[in-house]
Amino acid sequence: MATKNTKSQTKKNKSSAVKPAARTTGAMAGSAQEAASGAAEEAKTAAAAAPKGKKPGKAAAAKGKAAAKKTAASPEKKPAEAPAVKEEAKAPAVKEQAAPAVKEQAVALAVKEEPKAPAVKEQAAPAVKEPAEAPAAKEEPKAAEPEKTAPAKDGAIAAKILLKPNKDGSKITAVAPRPEIKGNPYKPMVCTVLEVIRETANIKTFRVGIDDPEVAKNFHFEPGQVGQLSVFGTGESTFVINTPPSVKDYLQFSVMMAGEVTTAIHNLSKGDKVGVRAPLGRPFPYDLWKGKDLFFIGGGIGMAPIRTIMMHCLEHKQDYGTISLLYGARSPQDLTYQYELDSWMANPDLNCTLTIDREAEGWPHKVGMIPNVLREIAPKADNCVAVLCGPPIMIKFTLMALDELGFSHENVYTTLEKRMKCGIGICGRCGIGGKYVCLDGPVFSQKELDELPPEL
């Protein structure tokens, strides 16, 4: 029975192996493999059923040969292509291998992130050690105290060296501390207009007195300091106090009409009330100039700050060398303080030179721009301090002329009060390169200006 079944199955398998020739390569490969696997299983079954010690019969041998023929024949008929198809189908196995690589990278990243946490702990750990070092830090100041106490005998001299230049005048730069404002810096002193003087077509000088006698008695300022002159209900503006500190009866401000506030000031009359916030800013460092020659240069309304420092130095002529003045304007009518010019020309302690830009009938003095007249006069730069103020264009070319004459930038000074606004360092509108004109100025040496941005 087993032999017949095997023969019939073999015939069926042969017929099935021929018919799939018209089918696809995948179907032929599948049927061939199934037939081979079936024949192998039947051969194993027959071998197991045979008695031990006996060889399988002819039927079993025939089955084995038939299975071997089918197995051998199946690889010859295009089965090589079927595995190729299946191997291509197994291509996802490559993707499965790529997937673990991604996971390994993710794990690697996780490992990299974890060390950051210990880094924080390591930083926190030294914090525990710091208390141990703290006593050492506390002990250091104790050891440093004798060092500060030891030079205390020379402390006053050392402090002055920090705030003043060398005696040879090689370092007279940015040495004065910022001024300390006493009382309420926002509250103006109530003053009364005592006198109004017409200087030019657009410049007036106002002399005002402080109403409170106690405040007036204790009021003091230095040459070069400024005040905020205000018209109540309109506003305030910055002007230099152009009287010397020796004048106690009034404060004098010279005002050029240029805007709303200055127009309101020009409309003031004798007896009107005004407000004054003063003194503000750093003064001229005239103590550093002692023993030196002084050369003052003023242009137009720029003569206002020059007037106060020049008159103060003339009052203390014994402290200085030769004092000279070069004052100019566009025309004789544009010169301020004309009622004082004759006395300045006649003063034996002052070498005064006046000039105008263009010739004018009856003008007996110099004609020419201030920088050109300065080159003509040619003051000696040795042991000489130059102080100038005027229109920006005049300052620019005058500084160039002083360079040609050999003046050190440490010995050239000017004032920038026109850039001041609030006067106490609150609004920040006069800030230039980390400095405030109202607190670090308005008086600056040319060396200080060299360190500021080029906008000046």
What is the model's pTM?
Answer: 0.62
CA atoms lying within 13 Å on the CB side of residue 338: 13
Task: Please enumerate in sequence order all residues whose Cβ is within 8 A of that of 157, keeping only pairs 6 or more positions apart, or say none.
Answer: none
Q: How far apart are CA 157 and CA 177, in angstroms?
A: 16
| Measured CA angle at 283 (ends 278, 286), to 5 deg | 145
Beta-carbon neighbour count of residue 38 at 10 Å? 14
**Model pLDDT, residue 41:** 57
Task: Read off the pLDDT of each residue in 443-447 and give the average, rounded to a whole number.
Answer: 94
- Model confidence pLDDT, tens digit, residues 362-408: 999 999 999 999 999 999 999 999 999 999 999 999 999 999 999 99
Identity of residue 406: G
| 275/422: higher pLDDT | 275
Q: How far apart are CA 364 and CA 367, in angstroms?
A: 9
Whether 308 contacts 242, CB under 8 Å? yes
What residues are paired with 296 via a beta bridge?
325, 387
pLDDT band at 207 (very low <50, low <70, confident <90, very high): very high
φ, ψ at 173 (rounded to 5°): -135, 130
Per-residue DSSP letter, 445: E
Q: How far apart are CA 395 and CA 413, in angstroms?
A: 11
pLDDT band at 210 (very low <50, low <70, confident <90, very high): very high
**Model pLDDT, residue 304:** 96
**Model pLDDT, residue 113:** 44
pLDDT band at 10 (very low <50, low <70, confident <90, very high): very low
What residues are paired with 256 via a beta bridge?
203
pLDDT of 268 > 90? The answer is yes
pLDDT of 26 > 50? The answer is no
Q: How far apart are CA 237 and CA 265, in angstroms?
A: 10
Whether 414 contacts 387, CB under 8 Å? yes
| 386/133: higher pLDDT | 386
Whether 220 contacts 245, CB under 8 Å? yes
pLDDT of 315 > 50? The answer is yes
Three-class secondary structure assignment of 436-449: EHHHHCEEEEHHHH
pLDDT band at 177 (very low <50, low <70, confident <90, very high): low
> Among all chains, which residue has been given the structure tokens 């040879």?
168
Strands (E), 243-342: 251-256, 273-280, 293-299, 323-329
pLDDT band at 421 (very low <50, low <70, confident <90, very high): confident
pLDDT of 78 > 90? The answer is no
Omega before 56 within 30 of 0, i.e. cis: no
**Model pLDDT, residue 452:** 83
**Model pLDDT, residue 176:** 54
| 256/440: higher pLDDT | 256
Task: Please enumerate in sequence order all residues whose Cβ is within 8 A of that of 320, keeping only pairs 6 or more positions apart, or say none.
Answer: 289, 290, 291, 292, 293, 294, 313
**What is the DSSP code string of 33-73?**
HHHHHHHHHHHHHHHHHSPTT----HHHHHHHHHHHHHHHH
- CA end-to-end span of the chain, whole Å? 122
**What is the DSSP code string of 107-164?**
HHHHHHHTTHHHHHHHHHHHHHHHHHHHHHHHHHHHHHHHHHHGGGGGHHHHHHHHHS
User: How far is residue 223 from each of residues 20, 134, 322, measured CA to CA in Å?
Assistant: 120, 50, 19
**Model pLDDT, residue 103:** 41
pLDDT of 255 > 80? The answer is yes
Helix axes 25-49, 81-89, angle to 10 degrees: 100
**Model pLDDT, residue 422:** 87
Beta-carbon neighbour count of residue 272 at 10 Å? 16
Helices marked H in 219-279: 260-266
pLDDT of 54 > 70? The answer is no
pLDDT of 19 > 50? The answer is no
Cα 18 from chain centroid (whole Å): 91
| Measured CA angle at 49 (ends 75, 69), to 5 deg | 15
pLDDT band at 42 (very low <50, low <70, confident <90, very high): low
Identity of residue 392: P
How many residues in total does the chain contain? Answer: 456
φ, ψ at 373 (rounded to 5°): -65, -35
**Model pLDDT, residue 233:** 94
**Model pLDDT, residue 56:** 47
pLDDT of 198 > 80? The answer is yes
Nearest to 388 by CA among 398, 374, 375, 373: 398
Per-residue DSSP letter, 418: G
| Measured CA angle at 409 (ends 404, 414), to 5 deg | 100
**Model pLDDT, residue 98:** 43
pLDDT of 330 > 80? The answer is yes
pLDDT of 319 > 80? The answer is yes
pLDDT of 334 > 90? The answer is yes
Whether 440 contacts 224, CB under 8 Å? no
**Model pLDDT, residue 180:** 66
Task: Please enumerate in sequence order all residues whose Cβ is within 8 A of that of 44, keeping only pairs 6 or more positions apart, or say none.
Answer: none
